């Protein structure tokens, strides 16, 4: 039943003419949005979000899961739930405004000085198909009584339209699942699925999935699953390239095609920081696989044809899963930002319009959370910039030390020109102390605040300069000993002012 007007958790408006316009433009190959993703804002008046588009196409969403943004223009409820380890308290992370992006700042403050786990991913539809941590299955997870575990809430910081948000980093053993979900396709009923993931973190094992699985959490035979698999698996052997690829987990096999393997020389693998992955299955005669760059462009169809032998008609069960296989195979890994499942077999025009909505969301690896993280190495000393002892105390002066690969030596550069580090569940920025602009100013860590003394330029000559001062990041006294502090100093071309961000 629809929620009342006072239920802020799940509200949506009927689809409007804007959705139809977006679909028509996408079908013509015309971008549905002219506004730059970096400045685009989403409000309840914007009816071009994925599940509004699916509804307008006659294939409504029956699940809508995301930790980054609303998937309905009118949605104004929680996106996901987190629990912090220090006191076991819970918090729901919602959106900044109806139809908008996640309020990640509430997570950052809630988790400061401790660690947090994603314990539930809310369904934005009125069906309440929320995903809790899976209780396990035939393959046992690493949690209590063989259950799976939740993802580290701070492990996947990214941006969407310049807003800091967090994805779900599925490491082996992480899994979410709801059995007997409401309204999802079962048996041979048609179904569409998409998710936004990444090429940055994959493996060849079973199974980083999103879609339909068995309520029993055991393998109940061919055709009892219909889920997107994303990874490097070549289940049937003889694949072209090394992946990762979009595949269909139909149980007892991840299928690139109806015969199993990928023989397409034009499909050796998909490599984008953000990838949209697509599967639709009419239950009897056809399944289709597609992918897209989650930041720009349209969709590529890698297969559309008959179901594999022995898989028609489908016998899909009503469990919804994320991160594991149908029998709880827990060894896959991947990243998840958003996804939805539909009733019916979505049209190409509908999927093209949803892809336009994804690219308009403005996913990026900078701004609030970081690009690909790595060590910031001091060339002259051959050592790494670190936060001493992994301190979460704002004002801690940074120093150099032998490179260990630890979190307190792992930095990310954002599109906002910040250099960020995540320690003890806290995200901190490299900061010129006291907004100083004179030689000798201490370089510290501080809570990220967007001010210019937290903006840095990585120059082609290896220097790192502060935005307001133009001074160079400098290892004090050109020393090479562990514990040498770092400061700002007049740029002089010496090796103690040269850095590499690996």
Residues of the chain with pLDDT > 90, as a percent, come to 72
Q: Give the residue-averaged pLDDT of 167-196.
A: 97
Kindly state the tokens that stand for 405.
């690969």
Coil, helix or strand for 20?
Answer: helix
Provide the pLDDT for residue 158. 86
CA distances to 19, 37, 49, 73 from 16, in Å: 6, 22, 11, 11
End-to-end alpha carbon distance in the chain: 52
Q: Give the residue-averaged pLDDT of 6-35.
A: 38
Question: CA-CA distance, 98 to 100, in Å (whole number)?
Answer: 5
- Whether cis (ω within 30° of 0) applies to the bond prior to 405 is no
Q: Which residue segments constitute the domains of the chain, with CATH numbers given?
A: 17-364 (2.60.120.200), 376-501 (2.80.10.50)
Half-sphere exposure of 341 (CA within 13 A, CB side): 29
Backbone angles phi, psi at 274, to 5 degrees: -130, 130
CB atoms within 10 A of CB 153: 29
Q: How confident is the model at residue 422 (pLDDT cuts 50, 70, 90)?
A: confident
Least confident of 290-304, 315-329, 459-473: 459-473
Q: Give this prediction's pTM.
A: 0.69
User: Quick check: 245 and 172 in contact, CB under 8 A?
Assistant: no
Q: Name, in order, each residue with C-beta under 8 angstroms of 357's C-beta and a sequence gap of 6 or more.
A: 22, 32, 48, 49, 50, 53
Asked whether the predicted pLDDT for residue 44 surpasses 60, the reply is no
Q: Write the DSSP symbol of residue 351.
A: H
Provide the pLDDT for residue 458. 82
Q: How confident is the model at residue 26 (pLDDT cuts 50, 70, 90)?
A: very low
Asked whether the predicted pLDDT for residue 502 surpasses 90, the reply is no
Which has more confidence, 20 or 172? 172
**For residues 389-411, b (16+ Cβ closer than 10 Å) or e, as one string?**
eebbeeebbbbbbebeeebbbbb
Q: How confident is the model at residue 423 (pLDDT cuts 50, 70, 90)?
A: confident
Kindly state the tokens that stand for 480.
């090479």
Least confident of 183-192, 282-291, 352-361, 407-416: 407-416
Q: Give the residue-averaged pLDDT of 163-172.
A: 93
Q: What is the CA radius of gyration of the chain?
A: 24
Asked whether the predicted pLDDT for residue 42 surpasses 50, the reply is no
Known catalytic residues? 251, 327
Provide the pLDDT for residue 121. 98
Provide the pLDDT for residue 28. 40
Strand 163-166 relative to strand 157-160: parallel, antiparallel, unpaired? antiparallel
Q: Give the residue-averaged pLDDT of 47-59.
A: 93
Least confident of 268-272, 277-281, 498-502: 498-502
Asked whether the predicted pLDDT for residue 13 surpasses 60, the reply is no
Model pLDDT for residues 104-131, shown as the tens digit of each residue: 989 988 998 889 999 999 999 999 999 9
Asked whether the predicted pLDDT for residue 16 surpasses 50, the reply is no
Average pLDDT, the chain: 88
Which has more confidence, 53 or 8? 53
Q: Give the residue-averaged pLDDT of 424-450.
A: 89
Model pLDDT for residues 371-384, shown as the tens digit of each residue: 567 899 998 999 99
Q: What is the DSSP string of 375-427?
A: -EEETTTTEEEE-GGG--STTPBPEEE-----GGG-EEE-TTS-EEEEETTEE
Q: Give the residue-averaged pLDDT of 136-163.
A: 93
Provide the pLDDT for residue 415. 61
Which residues is 475 bridged to in the sheet?
A: 486
SS3 content of the chain, % helix, strand, coil (to 5): 10, 35, 55
Question: CA-CA distance, 63 to 178, in Å (whole number)?
Answer: 11
Model pLDDT for residues 204-225, shown as the tens digit of each residue: 999 999 999 999 999 999 999 9
- Type and span of the H or E element at 52: helix 50-56
Among 230, 231, 227, smallest CA distance to 250 is for 227
Q: How confident is the model at residue 462 (pLDDT cuts 50, 70, 90)?
A: confident
Q: How confident is the model at residue 416 (pLDDT cuts 50, 70, 90)?
A: low
Quote the distance between the C-alpha of residue 454 and its chain's center. Answer: 25
Q: How confident is the model at residue 457 (pLDDT cuts 50, 70, 90)?
A: confident
Question: CA-CA distance, 183 to 172, in Å (whole number)?
Answer: 29
């Amino acid at each position: 039943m629809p929620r009342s007007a006072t239920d802020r958790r799940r509200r949506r408006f009927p689809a409007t003419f804007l959705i139809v316009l977006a679909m028509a433009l996408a079908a013509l190959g015309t971008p549905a949005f002219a506004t730059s993703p970096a400045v685009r804002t989403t409000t309840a008046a914007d009816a071009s979000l994925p599940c509004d588009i699916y509804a307008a196409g006659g294939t409504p969403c029956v699940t809508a899961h995301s930790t980054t943004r609303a998937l309905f223009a009118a949605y104004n409820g929680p996106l996901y739930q987190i629990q912090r380890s220090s006191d076991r308290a819970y918090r729901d992370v919602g959106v900044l405004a109806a139809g908008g992006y996640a309020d990640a700042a509430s997570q950052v403050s809630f988790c400061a000085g401790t660690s947090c786990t994603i314990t539930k991913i809310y369904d934005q539809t009125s069906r309440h198909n929320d995903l809790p941590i899976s209780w396990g299955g035939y393959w046992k997870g690493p949690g209590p009584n063989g259950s799976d575990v939740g993802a580290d809430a701070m492990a996947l910081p990214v941006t969407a339209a310049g807003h800091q948000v967090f994805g779900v980093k599925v490491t082996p053993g992480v899994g979410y699942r709801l059995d007997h979900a409401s309204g999802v396709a079962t048996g041979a009923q048609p179904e569409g699925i998409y998710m936004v993931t990444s090429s940055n973190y994959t493996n060849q094992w079973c199974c980083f999935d999103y879609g339909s699985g068995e309520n029993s959490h055991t393998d109940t035979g061919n055709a009892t699953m219909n889920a997107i698999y994303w990874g490097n698996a070549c289940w049937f052997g003889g694949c072209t390239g090394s992946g990762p690829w979009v595949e269909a987990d139909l149980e007892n096999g991840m299928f690139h095609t109806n015969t199993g393997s990928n023989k397409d020389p034009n499909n050796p693998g998909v490599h984008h920081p953000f990838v949209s992955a697509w599967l639709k299955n009419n239950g009897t005669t056809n399944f289709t696989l597609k992918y897209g760059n989650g930041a720009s462009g349209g969709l590529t169809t890698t297969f559309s044809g008959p179901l594999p032998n022995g898989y028609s008609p489908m016998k899909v069960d009503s469990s919804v899963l994320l991160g594991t296989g149908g029998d709880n195979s827990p060894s896959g890994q991947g990243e998840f930002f958003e996804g939805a499942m539909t009733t019916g077999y979505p049209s190409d025009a509908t999927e093209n319009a949803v892809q336009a909505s994804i690219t308009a969301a403005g996913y990026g690896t900078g701004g609030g959370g970081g690009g690909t993280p790595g060590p910031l190495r001091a060339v002259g000393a051959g050592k790494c910039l670190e936060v001493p002892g992994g301190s979460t105390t704002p004002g801690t002066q940074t120093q150099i030390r032998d490179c260990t690969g630890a979190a307190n030596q792992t930095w990310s550069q954002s599109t906002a020109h910040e250099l960020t580090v995540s320690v003890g569940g806290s995200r901190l920025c490299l900061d010129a102390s006291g907004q100083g602009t004179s030689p000798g100013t201490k370089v510290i860590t501080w809570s990220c605040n967007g001010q210019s003394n937290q903006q840095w330029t990585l120059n082609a000559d290896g220097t790192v300069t502060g935005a307001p001062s133009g001074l160079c990041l400098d290892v004090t006294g050109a020393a090479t000993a562990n514990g040498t502090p770092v400061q700002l100093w007049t740029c002089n071309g010496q090796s103690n002012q040269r850095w590499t961000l690996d």
